[in-house]
Amino acid sequence: MNPIQAARAAGQQIWLDNLSRALINDGLLARHIDNGVAGVTTNPAIFHKAIAEGQDYRPALAALPAGLSAEARYERLVIEDVQRACDVIRPVFDESQGDAGYVSLEVSPALADDEAGTVAAALRLKAAVGRDNLLVKIPATGAGIRAIETLTAAGVSLNVTLMFSLRHVDAVAGAYQRGLEQRAAAGADLRSVRSVASVFLSRWDSLVDGLLTETGSPAALALRGKTGVALARQAYRRYLARFHGEGFAPLAARGARPQSMLWASTGTKNPAYSDLMYVEPLIGAETVNTLPDATLTAFLDHGQVQAATLLADGESSAAELAALAALGIELDLLGERLQQEGLAQFATAFGKLLELTA
């Protein structure tokens, strides 16, 4: 087995954090799937890069009808890409009975604080793509969390993005469970609903390492490069407690799926660290790791898979987070800052996208 397949044998799905028309046309996406890739994630920055650098989009842009807004033109392009990617990976969806084989498409970042707008956009994108293996991406803002409950109750499968803190993990999981409970009360099918909760990791170490370096004490310096992995390990323990606990058991008995933890922002930003620092230590059952191209290539080249590394050093990860708190580094507050920065970055990328498609 290659490392992607070995991770799958250990219970973890490896997804590709990239999509473009060239990736589909050249057959590279199909080859990734042959290697074991079990899903695809996208965001505005990914599509901006694809459209700005790809020659495949120019004829399609020129052929779009006149009178469409820049956003409508953008959606025409990317919905076609997402539909085709959904079709390429559909065998994985079928073979896994809906556990894997998904492609994600994000609602406009302009809707981050608009609950009703997020719900409407998610329903519209689901209908426009028309594929069972679509995950609509919405952010874990206050409005987004309220929308999760509504959309889950309506049977929309979701990828909740821009999660940074354990507070986000708890809020998102609670909204998903409440949505399923509403759906169960209405007598609707639960098994058809899939949800993943995307916790961003590398941005944590980029931020916290700087704060630790400023502090300068030996105890602070010893914590550098540990925040992202420690946070993920603690998030996974909360996942296990909730979705394998008594509170979720009645929903599980009716076919409801747990909301899988998904590790996002997994490309190492500090060259002094391992290029697989957010991959090898985070192998665990019922999880997803979405990798950008370079990290996927590195994983295939020299990745080492040991089962259940997510459960290793549980006490150490809790102690590391407690040590950060003792130094005055409040992760819940910093998580809100990182989320706002992430929203701003996606909004900027989306604005540039619309300039391309105008």
Give the model confidence (pLDDT) of 254-285 as tens digits.
Answer: 999 999 999 999 999 999 999 999 999 999 99
156 within domain boundaries? yes
Find where tokens 């609903």 sit.
193
Say whether 137 is catalytic.
yes
73 within domain boundaries? no
Residue numbers of the domain that contains 190: 3-14+98-346
For residue 197, give the CATH number of its domain: 3.20.20.70
pLDDT digits (tens, 9 = 90+) for 150-171: 999 999 999 999 999 999 999 9
Q: Which two tokens stand for residue 177?
A: 């469970």
Mean pLDDT across the chain? 96
Q: What's the domain count of the chain?
A: 1
Find, among 153, 143, 152, 145, the residue nearest to 117 by Cα.
143
179 within domain boundaries? yes
Q: Please tell me the number of Cα atoms within 13 Å of 246 on its side-chain side.
A: 0
Find, among 181, 330, 258, the residue nearest to 11 by Cα.
258
Instruction: Report residue 216's pLDDT band, with 50, 70 and 90 as the boundaries.
Output: very high
Whether residue 45 contacts residue 19, with contact meaning beta carbons closer than 8 Å, is answered with: no
As a whole number of Å, the end-to-end CA separation of the chain is: 46
70 within domain boundaries? no
110 within domain boundaries? yes
- Rounded to 5 degrees, φ, ψ at 263 are -90, 120
60 within domain boundaries? no
Whether residue 198 contacts residue 162, with contact meaning beta carbons closer than 8 Å, is answered with: yes
pLDDT for the residue 214: 97
pLDDT digits (tens, 9 = 90+) for 68-81: 999 999 999 999 99
pLDDT digits (tens, 9 = 90+) for 277-323: 999 999 999 999 999 999 999 999 999 999 889 998 778 999 999 99
Beta strands in 107-165 (DSSP E): 134-139, 158-163
23 within domain boundaries? no
Give the Cβ contact number of residue 354 at 10 Å: 16
- Plot region of 188 (φ>0 → left; ψ -120 to 50 → alpha; else → beta): beta
262 within domain boundaries? yes
Q: Which of 49, 137, 226, 269 is catalytic?
A: 137
Residue 197's SS3 state is strand
